[in-house]
Every structure is written in C-alpha cells, then in structure tokens.
A = this chain, B = another copy of it.
Amino acid sequence: MGNLFVDVGMSLDGFIAGPNGGPRNPLGDGGMRIHEWLHPLAAFRSRLGMDGGDQGRDNELVESVFARTGAYVMGRRMFDEGEVGWPENAPFRVPVFVVTHKPRPPWVRPGGTIFTFVTGGIGSALAQARAAAGGHDVKIAGGADTIQQFLKAGLVDEFRVDLAPLLLGRGVRLFDQVDPDDLALEILEAIESPLTTHLRYRVVK
C-alpha cells in the first residue's frame, strides 16, 4: 500500500494562502507568490497545457511527485476554487476524491482526471483513493482544512513543505488547528534550491 503524503507550499511565516481566498482568488491575496518557483517549470507548464519551461533539479522533483501520485484527496473548498480555474484538461491526470457534504456524480475530464465526490468523510475518501491508486502514493492536494483533518486523524505518513523565502503576514496558517502533540516529525531531507527550500519529513506514529 502506498503512503499518504502532503506536499504544500508555505511562506517562511507559516502561511499556505493569503487572506480573502475564494473561486475568483484561488490562493488568496498574495498567496500565488508562495508558488512562484513552480510556475516556470516544464513539468508544471505541461500539466496546464503549456509548452516549454525550465528543466533542472526543481523540475525533476516536481516530476517525481507527479509520478508517485496514484490518486489525490482534496477538500471541497479547494475544488470549488479550482473548478473555475483549471483548464478543461485538468492537471491531476489520475482519480481525485473530493471530500464534501453535497453528493454529485463523478466529473470526468479529458487527460485522466476523474473527480469523485465523497460524502462519507476523510476516511472514506482515503480508502477510495488508496484503492484507485493501484499501489502508488496518495497525495492530499489541500487545502489547509483538509490537511489538518488528516493530520489530526494521524493518517499522514509523509509531510513535504516547499518553503518560500518570503513573508505573507496574514492568511491561512498551515498548522493553526493542529495540536502539536498530534504531529511528531523526523527530517528525511532538505534540498536547497534558488527560489524555495524543499523540506521532507516523516510523520512519526
């Protein structure tokens, strides 16, 4: 069975999105800056249907995260924000399980992305994602609330933070609702890069 992992961009002051986020402002005010390192990369551009882009170490890391991910779990708010913004050929290319209270039939996109709406909570979404991932890992796509629910439930195996060298000052803090006693981490890796720092932790259970 694959691992459940989180891979999230965070500002040095602990925010993963700016304030006032919503469907017309997906990462909140200023939040896009956290992901600036990602935008020029070939692997990222290709998932949004754009040619070209930078190769190199960061690109390989992004490729490797796509390659290991057999399915995603996603919060409803993140889905709502993305639904209006993702290209028709959505960037996931594998099954995505959206945790929601509102039943809705699966939404199949060209390229392999199938959004399945799960009303049975995070445990049910994870079980379905694991079954769909075929032995690959399952990634929690976000947002903060969903990541926090999985952390509280002790279900996360690996935690990856791409730490941006900037302050946001306000917005959504990654760890705000997490009880420190619920999360013990062990450093697996820290990878230097010019525009972000890739931190990888194992969750100690």
B-binding residues in A (CB < 8 A): 12-14, 30, 161, 163, 165-169, 173-175, 178-180, 183-187, 189-197, 199, 201
Contacts A169-B178, A190-B193 supplied; 6 other A-B pairs, CB < 8 Å: A12-B185, A13-B175, A13-B178, A165-B186, A187-B192, A187-B196
Task: State A180–B165 Cα separation when bound (angstroms).
Answer: 11
Copies in the complex: 2
The majority secondary structure among interface residues of chain A is loop
On whether the beta carbons of B199 and A163 are closer than 8 Å, the reply is yes
Determine which residue in A163, A165, A174, A199 has the highest number of CB atoms from chain B within 10 A of its CB, and name it.
A165
On whether the beta carbons of B185 and A166 are closer than 8 Å, the reply is yes
A-B contact pairs, 8 of them (CB 8 A): A12-B175, A13-B14, A14-B14, A167-B175, A167-B180, A187-B194, A197-B197, A197-B199
Once A163-B199, A197-B197, A199-B163 are accepted as A-B contacts, the answer to whether A180 and B169 lie under 8 Å apart by CB is: yes
A184 (CB) vs chain B CBs: closest residue: B166
On whether the beta carbons of B192 and A168 are closer than 8 Å, the reply is no
Task: State A187–B91 Cα separation when bound (angstroms).
Answer: 29
A194 (CB) vs chain B CBs: closest residue: B187
Once A13-B14, A168-B180, A199-B163 are accepted as A-B contacts, the answer to whether A190 and B187 lie under 8 Å apart by CB is: no
CB-defined contacts of A161 to chain B, threshold 8 Å: 12
Task: State A169–B181 Cα separation when bound (angstroms).
Answer: 9
Once A14-B14, A165-B201 are accepted as A-B contacts, the answer to whether A187 and B179 lie under 8 Å apart by CB is: no
- Least distance between A173 CB and chain B CB atoms (Å): 8
A167 (CB) vs chain B CBs: closest residue: B180
CB-defined contacts of A184 to chain B, threshold 8 Å: 166
On whether the beta carbons of A165 and B185 are closer than 8 Å, the reply is yes
Task: State A169–B191 Cα separation when bound (angstroms).
Answer: 25
CB-defined contacts of A199 to chain B, threshold 8 Å: 163, 197
CB-defined contacts of A165 to chain B, threshold 8 Å: 185-187, 201
On whether the beta carbons of A192 and B193 are closer than 8 Å, the reply is no
- Least distance between A184 CB and chain B CB atoms (Å): 7
